[in-house]
Amino acid sequence: MPILVEPALPTGHLRDRPQPRLSIDDELTLRPWQAGDAEAVRTAFGCPEIQRWHVRRIDTAAEALDWIEGWGPRWLADRDVSWAVVGPADEVLGQAGFRGLDLVDATAEVSYWVLPSARGRGVAVRAARAVVGWSFAELGLARLGLRHSTANLGSCRVAERAGFALEGTLRSAARHADGRHDMHLHAVVSAAS
């Protein structure tokens, strides 16, 4: 069935370029995940707060490695991207990226998490801003969304501080381990849109 608009971005928009390493500031960098990050991933998904909001548990080093290795094919499929948020000694502090890249509409949805040891330092806010900046300037995306449970007040603060305007509430939109959750919908739109 023919589409009536040309895709805003061509097929291969991610695939045809290497995933970059992005300097955020003097302290933080976004870099592609590496096999040596498996223990940090396992630690992250062992955190009850990360499990609560991301509905995933990783129990073994092999599962963590599978999670890491899964990002390459998702990049090549023009679908999703994830970076390790690392500190000055290349230690993993968290994750930032986007999911559900839509080439027709030039949109995606930002995600992030931060290890407990790195919380309270603005890591998620700075990483989310870097993802937004790169997505708009380098990829030409028009809009980035961000969804979180209305019960996740920390994520709401991150979204607001990173420049994502609250657009509304999606009722009973996601299922977590403790049941269905209403979700806040935030978004930021490119100035070029």
Quote the pLDDT of residue 39: 96
C-beta separation of 93 from 129 below 8 A: no
Rounded Cα–Cα distance for residues 31 and 163 (Å): 22
Q: Given the DSSP bridges, would you call strands 165-176 and 81-86 parallel, antiparallel or unpaired?
A: unpaired
* Residue ranges, the chain, pLDDT below 50: none
Residue 2 pLDDT = 82
3-state secondary structure 107-168: EEEEEEEECHHHCCCCHHHHHHHHHHHHHHHHHCCCEEEEEEECCCHHHHHHHHHCCCEEEE
User: Residue 1: what pLDDT?
Assistant: 82
C-alpha radius of gyration, the chain, whole number: 16
Torsion sign across C-alpha atoms 149, 153, 157, 160: positive
Q: Is 82 left (phi over 0), alpha (psi -120 to 50) or beta?
A: beta
- 61 neighbors 39 (Cβ within 8 angstroms): yes
Fold of 22-189: Aminopeptidase (3.40.630)
Predicted pLDDT of residue 126? 98
Contacts of 181 (CB under 8 A, 6+ apart): 149, 150, 151, 172, 173, 174, 175
Task: Convert the pLDDT of each residue in 97-153 to its tens digit.
Answer: 999 999 999 999 999 999 999 999 999 999 999 999 999 999 999 999 999 999 999
> Helices 123-134 and 153-161: crossing angle, nearest 10°?
50
Residue 100 confidence (pLDDT): 97
Total-model pTM: 0.95
Whole-angstrom distance, CA of residue 14 vs CA of residue 103: 10
